[in-house]
Structure 1
């Protein structure tokens, strides 16, 4: 596994654009809240660290990861956002439910991005167990929420540059 001994949230090798000119929506799942709360903290902190203004960050909570797609669509339908970050956590269980949810969420987020021609960032953990999720939500492998925020900043800047 590539991440076994690595903190994935290290951006020292790259220049991250300023978030100051952009507006960000964050859609976060309430399911697995001990994980998604950490993802949200990481995303929010990173946006502010790179210059986003508090009034330009809006957080919307949805019941579960499956609803992230609808939440992102609602945000983009009703207001002008430069990027939307979707944060969730799906943990493998004993049934195929995991596979269906993960596939639906990944495809749905892509479809919302294409529909609105805006960056919609996949910050959804798909792990085998709770410990793997915690390791990626502020634990030994960094914070996927932070990574998603940096991706949103970079994509918002790229989109603005190519309009």
Structure 2
């Protein structure tokens, strides 16, 4: 049995971080967590580009452009959608999730989602580093692992066909 897994060694990898400005109290903490995780795993600051978009709904369009550029081994999506008193939350959360998933299937690089969908600001703050770890850091670690396993999968020879 051959098992392929991505490592968390990121030396030499290039990363793009696409972050929404809306709910910046949260998204800036996610960005700090992602940057710290990338650094700790070996990515040089010069090999990380940060792209900002207005809000989480706009994030997948920018993520698609960045991931399709061919310049990065990984692209990390960071945003925060917090429930309010209208159905707006459901629409934004659902469409953003679908958009990021679609980009991840089409991209030539690893794509990780660090987008919070929380009921309250307190929940979002907890997930952005106050109590329950930092979901930006977790997304960065997932992107590193995925980038490495995708690289290994790209080295596999074509399957032999039995006729």
Post-superposition offset of 1:22? 1.2
After TM superposition, what 4+ stretches of structure 1 lie above 3 angstroms from structure 2?
none
1:99-139, CA deviations, whole angstroms, 9 ceiling, x for partnerless residues? 11111111100111112243211100000010000001011
Is the counterpart of residue 156 in structure 1 residue 147 in structure 2? yes
Match of 1:36 in 2: 27
Match of 2:76 among 80, 85, 110: 85
| Residues paired across the two proteins, number | 149
Alignment of 1:5-84 (within 5 A): 17-84=8-75
TM-score between both structures, scaled by the size of structure 2 = 0.87
SS at match of 1:156: helix
Match of 1:146?
137
Gaps of 5+ in 1: 1-14
- Which of the residues 96, 100, 105 maps onto 1:105? 96
Give the secondary structure class of the aligned counterpart of 1:138: coil
CA RMSD of aligned residues (A): 1.3
* Structure 2 segments unaligned to the other structure (5+ residues): 1-5, 155-163
Q: Give the greater-gyration-radius structure (CA).
A: 2
Instruction: Quote the residue 2:114 is aligned against.
Output: 123
Residues 9-64 of structure 1: per-residue CA shift (max 9 Å, x gap): xxxxxx95211121110000000001000000000010000100112111000000
Contact 1:109 1:122 in 2 (8 A): yes
Local SS of the residue matching 2:115: strand
